[in-house]
Structure 1
């Protein structure tokens, strides 16, 4: 399977993904990556489809021994049949459906309505419950993309929490960094009630640095840094998480960044009309970029990163 193969899910499924056991999460990833697409590339959900995962494929994709794969598949298929998803009902119901229901209501459901395993044959089968469809198919906005192999091969719990959050930010257009309060960062990582990380130093030493080390060793990220950009009463209040990863250059291209062009001879520049027109096009693109705190942005990317375009 290609290293560039991605899986997609809604952002509000992040908390449930984080709380899942490793084996069940791996099985879920290996089912949703098998979903079909229509001619426009939209992911389709088939409520009757039974997904089969063999121990051989599981071991190869997760980078583990086959004997371990047998054990994890058996454990995982049992968990995915019982793992409880907790989602605010407002995320699934329409405004009309919500009128007569409590605003704080939570929907409880399991991911799969069928599971099967065979030790002798070395495979499992899973069928996803139709209620899961809005979270893994027909996604148009507010969704996260992550690389399948990265998600499968990142066993560390804390590293997985940070990885999914980083991918969510990147999917939202924050291609280079994210500014966020320390309190909100801990909340999104689901460690805000963990006393071990109360102080910023303990959080960076015991959680962030260790998670970053695992992510860089295993995934597409090559650099992840955290720096304090605002303090309140001498304590870290706002931080900037900056990151570098394999597909970043393409994201900058898509946003209109200039990454260089082939050199042309003096004769070509003066004599070729098309080259001159291309040159003007590039100049126009440059005028659409602004340097903000040491980085270049177009208007869309700047505003997605929290900057007011007219202030710079």
Structure 2
């Protein structure tokens, strides 16, 4: 936890909490990939020289993969040990543009849950090709941020007035993301209204490949290795 807190620039108490929660979340996480797009798992010692042939599957087959084989967390030493699934390893090792470092550091530094949720929403849109902007209705945004309750079987959204939602949620978390993460020039605007009320927003942004987040990480690692 001490090393993690230094690298991620978070308080040691936050590091303890995030390590333990992270181990649990990784162990329960899965990814779903069209079988036609699967990568071959890396060979391991003792594997047969020829890959095992799989039976032909329908073209719309989706395979769900566990991220990890196991995750261990030791309270006495505040350490975590994990082993990624061999079928997931190719996707982790072949990530491009320093995605692993940038997203990991940004995620752990966003200790505010709402800012982290908005950041993950932006990253999700980037991952499907929306590299500079995306549109979303106000209600969809609240659903993504889990800002609703079910009362008597009805979904009731938080912040019924957009003015308050904008002030207390959107602007605050956009400022945090701009300051801490590789997402830069993050802005938003109302692009649709219904009965004079904001109904749809557009978020625009750019992604820095040479961000201060990445540079800080490299500097910290170099200092620790000296």
Count of residues paired in the alignment: 182
Residue 60 (structure 1) aligned with residue 2 (structure 2): no
Residue 180 of structure 1 corresponds to 135
Cα pair 1:225 1:242 within 8 Å, conserved: yes
Residue 114 (structure 1) aligned with residue 92 (structure 2): no
Residue 97 (structure 1) aligned with residue 54 (structure 2): no
TM-fit CA distance, 1:237: 3.7
Cα pair 2:67 2:85 within 8 Å, conserved: yes
Residue 111 of structure 2 corresponds to 155
Task: Note the 1:283-302 alignment, pairs <5 A.
Answer: none
Aligned residue for 2:111, secondary structure, equals: coil
1:236 aligned residue (195, 198, 205): 198
Unaligned stretches of 5+ in structure 1?
1-54, 250-312
- Distance (whole Å) between structure 1 residues aligned to residue 67 and residue 193 of structure 2: 42
TM-fit CA distance, 1:248: 9.2
Cα pair 2:192 2:198 within 8 Å, conserved: yes
Residue 206 of structure 1 corresponds to 168
Residue 19 of structure 2 corresponds to 73
TM-fit CA distance, 1:180: 1.0
- Distance (whole Å) between structure 1 residues aligned to residue 103 and residue 87 of structure 2: 24
TM-fit CA distance, 1:158: 1.6
Give me the TM-score of the superposition, normalised by structure 1. 0.45
Residue 45 of structure 1 corresponds to none
- Distance (whole Å) between structure 1 residues aligned to residue 13 and residue 147 of structure 2: 37
Is the alpha carbon distance of 1:205 and 1:135 closer, same or farther for their aligned partners in structure 2, counting shifts above 3 Å? farther
Is the alpha carbon distance of 1:106 and 1:100 closer, same or farther for their aligned partners in structure 2, counting shifts above 3 Å? closer
- CA deviations on 1:181-217 (whole Å, 9 max, x unpaired) are 3158527835375510455334323321221132234
Unaligned stretches of 5+ in structure 2?
38-55, 150-156, 212-226
Task: Note the 1:6-45 alignment, pairs <5 A.
Answer: none
Is the alpha carbon distance of 1:130 and 1:213 closer, same or farther for their aligned partners in structure 2, counting shifts above 3 Å? same
1:227 aligned residue (174, 189, 193): 189
Whichever of the two has the greater Rg, that structure is: 1
Is the alpha carbon distance of 1:243 and 1:155 closer, same or farther for their aligned partners in structure 2, counting shifts above 3 Å? same
Give me the TM-score of the superposition, normalised by structure 2. 0.58
Residue 144 of structure 2 corresponds to 189
- Distance (whole Å) between structure 1 residues aligned to residue 206 and residue 121 of structure 2: 14
1:164 aligned residue (120, 129, 132): 120
Aligned residue for 2:204, secondary structure, equals: strand
- Distance (whole Å) between structure 2 residues aligned to residue 149 and residue 79 of structure 1: 17
TM-fit CA distance, 1:179: 4.5
Task: Note the 1:257-276 alignment, pairs <5 A.
Answer: none
Is the alpha carbon distance of 1:183 and 1:209 closer, same or farther for their aligned partners in structure 2, counting shifts above 3 Å? closer
TM-fit CA distance, 1:226: 1.8
Aligned residue for 1:163, secondary structure, equals: helix
Aligned residue for 1:64, secondary structure, equals: coil
Cα pair 2:8 2:108 within 8 Å, conserved: yes
